[in-house]
Amino acid sequence: MEKIDFKTIFPTAFKMDTHQINTVFNSEIRNLLEKEVLNTERTIVYIIERRGLNLFGPFTYMIKKFHEMGTIRLYDDKKVVGIKEGVCNNRTECIILTDAIRKGDEISRIVDSLNKSDVTVLKVCGYLSNKETIEKLRNVYNETKFEFVHETTDYSQYRDYYGKIVGVHHSRLEPLDSEHPYYIYKSQQKTSRDKIWTVIFKSCKKANVYQDQDILNSDITGYTAEFDGDYVRKRMALNTKNDFFKIERLLLRFKFDQSRSELRMMAFCDVYNFNLSSVSLIDDHVENVLPNFIRYCKFLNENSNNQKIICPLCVDVNLSRRFLDMYDYKIKKMSEKEGFFLNTIKEFDPFLNY
């Protein structure tokens, strides 16, 4: 049976150097933003997660100079639209940035939801779209302007351009999913893959460590350290009487860019058997299980009871941040033993950075 991998699906992307893909892509996105976003009247700009936020990530500093910014996501059931904003806005208009539109179902659901909330979408801008789909959307949403760098006429052309998007994703150390905390380190000395592998392997002796496959960029290597849930609970000294959630596993996901000697470490804690009702009114119980717990989420009907409800994502982030802090120290100490120094150049908290 033929192996299905990125090279099979996106052959054109593998014929181009990823640095060349990035240079052209960044130039095109910058031109799009300058023309359609930065010179418009101040409003709020929503970037669609996950891939859209990854693609436009290097340009958010530009956007924030001229507009307020938030992120928006259509969840898997295609019914719930989630919005994150740095500031509470009562805007009646907005601009949306996305990576690509092929069939248009996702963007239609998002625009409909915003319109029902009396928010007019002035523009939808992005890198890639299907021309036929965009024409239909323009007819349905005649108050909204749709502007994309590339409008393709057939699937083969769309796939070739989308392969370039994949190439951009694979050249970024920032993860696709913005809901997980991570650190990025830089070594002042040129560091080899072998040394990075040694540091990760020795630092994560209690985990199943393996190299990730199918990364398009030849400069970047990915590694995963998978920790058993029981080990995580013991390592972080969580209360053994915890009865409202269990940890299935915790992943440390690493990406190393050899050309820049930069390493990313991201944590994802898989919480399951989550029982909201058992903790909805017991703050002390939560503090016993998770000392220094930070409650990020706020509910719309904020009363004394709702303030004590905890969501699974908050638990994930709290556990992930604590685990990152533990392994931040271990990774740095182990790198010193291997003859190089990792300096932190970025810390990302999903609830505080957007």
Q: 193 and 292, same structural domain?
A: yes
Q: Which CATH number do you get for residue 126?
A: 3.40.50.2020
b/e 155-175 (16+ beta carbons within 10 angstroms → b) = eebbbbbbbbbbbbbbbbbbb
Q: Give burial (CB, 10 Å; 0-12/13-18/19+) of 113.
A: middle
Q: Is 64 part of any domain? A: yes
Q: Percent of the chain, pLDDT > 90?
A: 44
Q: Is 75 part of any domain? A: yes
Of 171, 194, 229, which residue constitutes the final position of a domain? Answer: 171
Q: 147 and 104, same structural domain?
A: yes
Structure tokens at 88: 């509470």
Q: Is 354 part of any domain? A: no
Q: Is 1 part of any domain? A: no
Q: How much is the pLDDT for 281?
A: 47
Question: 């021309």: which residue's tokens?
Answer: 131
The residue segments making up the domain with residue 223 are: 182-348
Strands 262-272 and 68-74 turn out to be unpaired
DSSP assignment letter at 41: P
Separation CA 310–CA 270 (nearest Å): 16
Separation CA 165–CA 13 (nearest Å): 9
Q: 320 and 246, same structural domain?
A: yes
Question: In this predicted model, which residue has the larger pLDDT, 221 or 277?
Answer: 221
Of 111, 143, 171, which residue constitutes the final position of a domain? Answer: 171
Write out pLDDT tens, residues 10-24.
666 666 677 778 888
Is 205 a residue whose pLDDT tops 70? Answer: yes
Write out pLDDT tens, residues 301-322.
344 444 455 667 778 888 899 8
Query: With bands split at pLDDT 50, 70 and 90, how would you rate the model's confidence at 342?
Result: very high
Query: With bands split at pLDDT 50, 70 and 90, how would you rate the model's confidence at 179?
Result: confident
Q: Give the residue among 126, 94, 141, 77 at the shortest CA–CA distance from 85.
A: 94
Describe the chain by its helix, strand, coil percentages, rounded to 5. 40, 25, 35
Q: 236 and 127, same structural domain?
A: no
Q: 119 and 205, same structural domain?
A: no
**Mean pLDDT highest for which of 163-172, 213-222, 337-346?**
337-346
Q: 229 and 153, same structural domain?
A: no
Total count of domains within the chain: 2
- For the entire predicted model, the pTM comes to 0.80
Q: Give the residue among 168, 225, 177 at the shortest CA–CA distance from 350.
A: 177
Cα angle 175-222-54, degrees, rounded to a multiple of 5: 20
Of 171, 200, 229, which residue constitutes the final position of a domain? Answer: 171
Residue 249: strand, helix, or coil: strand
Q: Percent of the chain, pLDDT > 70?
A: 77
Distance of CA 155 to the CA centre of its chain: 27
What's at 74, amino acid-wise? L
Is 300 a residue whose pLDDT tops 50? Answer: no
Write out pLDDT tens, residues 131-162.
999 999 999 999 999 999 999 999 888 988 88
Q: Is 176 part of any domain? A: no
Residue 230: strand, helix, or coil: helix
Residue 338: strand, helix, or coil: coil
Rounded mean pLDDT of 339-350?
Answer: 91
Q: 187 and 167, same structural domain?
A: no
Please report the beta strands in 79-212, taking only residues with DSSP state E, as ranges in sequence order: 81-85, 93-101, 120-130, 145-152, 182-187, 208-211
Q: Is 353 part of any domain? A: no
Q: 194 and 162, same structural domain?
A: no
Of the candidate ranges 196-210, 234-248, 273-287, the one whose mean pLDDT is the lowest: 273-287
Write out pLDDT tens, residues 30-66.
999 999 999 999 999 999 988 898 899 889 999 999 9
Q: Is 277 part of any domain? A: yes
Is 9 a residue whose pLDDT tops 80? Answer: no
Of the candidate ranges 81-85, 181-185, 192-196, 244-248, the one whose mean pLDDT is the lowest: 81-85
Q: 279 and 330, same structural domain?
A: yes
Q: Is 98 part of any domain? A: yes
Q: 21 and 89, same structural domain?
A: yes
Q: 89 and 163, same structural domain?
A: yes
Q: 290 and 161, same structural domain?
A: no
Residue 237: strand, helix, or coil: coil
